[in-house]
Structure 1
Amino acid sequence: MGDTQDWAAGPGAAQRARSVLATAWSCAVTADGAREEYVGAHTVTEDGGVLLDAPEDGALVTAALCAPRGEPSAVLEFADAAPVPVRDRIRARVWLAGWFTPVAGGPLLFRPTRVVLRRPSGAVLVDLAEFAAARPDPLAAAEARLLTHLAAAHPDAVERLTRLVRPESLHAATRVTPLAVDRHGLTLRVERVRAHGDVRLAFHAPADDVTQLTERMHALLARASAAACPRALQRQRADGDG
């Protein structure tokens, strides 16, 4: 099921892709016909290159050293998984096609020549110049901690925020969970028995750090407190009490 509410402002494709790379703990590399998984082995350069610490005796290093000009063609794949347990947990994937070259000190440097971002709404080809110039969302590094805390410690706040969601988007909802947060807004996952949809609650202004995010969340909760409780959730509570 797709989005069930008008989508508010959010990070552009280049920034979203850079955020995925910045927070991903692992990546899959396909080169010279072989696919290898690397965990905790990559870092991202300022301009979007990827430094990979591959085993010296591994197939990837061998391919890099033996290929013409030392630059084998390769594809890197990164996945962005929601930090809270939800259905269809992968929120986005990023594929980078390009070239590896050995650099001093042992790692391999990957330079992308093509970047593709796939989200539930579809795939988009990311402009290389925009990708190189983009920076991760300022909340990306803290997102997992923020969302897990909101889901575990403040379920009452999550329920209150549903007052800002259109009633039709909550029809037959069985659970509402915080799915994502960035400087522009909070995304909620509305789950039903056999389907789900995502709704986005926009902040009144972008947040550049966790302190500003706290203020933005308080503003959302204040708006929610002033709104009426959705009838759909009122009925669910009544059915549950019965």
Structure 2
Amino acid sequence: MARSCPHQPPVPSPVERARATVLRAGGATLLVDPHAGAGAGDGGRVVPVLHHVPASGAATLQFPADHPLVALTRVHEYVPAMLELTDSTPLPVRQPVRGLVWIAGRVRLLPARVARRAALRIAAEATDERLLDVGHSDVLLRMDPGSVVLSDAEGTGTFTPAQVAAAPHDPLVTSGDEWLAHLARAHGSLLTGLARHLPPSLRHPGATLHPLAVDRLGLRLRVETDRGDHDVRLAFAAPVACSRMLGAEVRRLAEVSPAATGAVHRRAAGR
């Protein structure tokens, strides 16, 4: 992942960023001892069929019932493991990874009745037909977390699960990526306006600008050049509490009138 330039505007605290990364991460890989017989041929790395990770890090992981890791949990009640969560940009860029979180702990097999209830709770948040296999061809494992480590463009940090669960919630954590993709796809005028905040060395015809990440305090842009990738963070005038405020702040930074960007405002407001 690209590292941000020094002397950046204010950013959310490391523990707040860890919470947001846990909730937003789309990729999950479980790392177990390759000599433990868990069927992990790639250095002990196994990928669950489905993962659901709350802010506490107590992940629920779906695996085929005949998976070697499941067999291992039937022999050993608790299996030491580390869950790697990858937060990637919704846009195609050369270095798509925005942040990584590693949750160290132990995994255990959920009893069938508990697994069915857990599957129903997960489905209530986000419907996924793969959950229909729980209790039939698939089972659920639960990770009991012990520690959480963050690495992103702003820095690193190590936390307890309780600290991450208690961290402030970013109001854009679930909607920000969709907003960024829409901004890049349909609002070139806003991007052109935002480009005026780039350092002079990055403002040249050969550079490609992408909206990379957004949080309550600001927007991060990725500039791809023939000399490498560079991240530039733009601060909002005040913390945003909703997508409507986000649209107003981005227009302010771009110095584009509301009338010229009414569509992005309506999309950000969910209308």
| TM-score tier (shorter) | 0.7 to 0.9
CA apart distance, 1:166: 3.0
1:200 aligned to which of 233, 249, 265:
233
Q: In 2, distance between residues paired with 1:173 and 1:202?
A: 25
* CA displacement, residues 86-121 of structure 1 (integer Å, 9 cap, x when unaligned): 121111111111011233225221122121111245
Moved over 6 A (4+): none
The aligned residue for residue 77 of structure 1 is 84
Question: Does structure 1 conserve the Cα–Cα contact (< 8 Å) formed by 2:193 and 2:253?
Answer: no
2:95 corresponds to which letter in structure 1?
A: D
1:54 corresponds to which letter in structure 2?
A: F
Verify: 1:153 aligned to 2:163, yes or no: no
1:58 aligned to which of 49, 67, 87:
67
Note the 1:1-242 alignment, pairs <5 A. Answer: 2-4=3-5, 6-33=7-34, 34=40, 35-39=45-49, 41-45=50-54, 47-67=56-76, 70-103=77-110, 104-105=114-115, 106-134=139-167, 136-170=169-203, 174-222=207-255
The verdict on how the C-alpha distance between 1:50 and 1:85 changes in structure 2, with shifts beyond 3 A counting, is: same
CA apart distance, 1:7: 1.1
SS in 1 for 2:63: coil
CA apart distance, 1:157: 1.1
Question: Does structure 1 conserve the Cα–Cα contact (< 8 Å) formed by 2:74 and 2:109?
Answer: yes
CA apart distance, 1:160: 0.9
Question: Does structure 2 conserve the Cα–Cα contact (< 8 Å) formed by 1:138 and 1:208?
Answer: yes
After TM superposition, the score normalised by the length of structure 1 is 0.81
The farther-off stretch of 206-215 and 90-99 is 206-215
Q: Which runs of 5+ in 1 are unaligned?
A: 226-242
SS in 2 for 1:18: helix
CA apart distance, 1:171: 5.8
SS in 2 for 1:139: coil
Q: In 2, distance between residues paired with 1:114 and 1:214?
A: 36
Question: Does structure 2 conserve the Cα–Cα contact (< 8 Å) formed by 1:8 and 1:200?
Answer: yes
SS in 2 for 1:54: strand
Question: Does structure 1 conserve the Cα–Cα contact (< 8 Å) formed by 2:31 and 2:82?
Answer: yes
RMSD: 2.3
Q: Which runs of 5+ in 2 are unaligned?
A: 35-39, 116-138, 258-271
Q: In 2, distance between residues paired with 1:20 and 1:2?
A: 16
The farther-off stretch of 132-141 and 28-37 is 132-141
Q: In 1, distance between residues paired with 2:144 and 2:167?
A: 15
The aligned residue for residue 239 of structure 1 is none
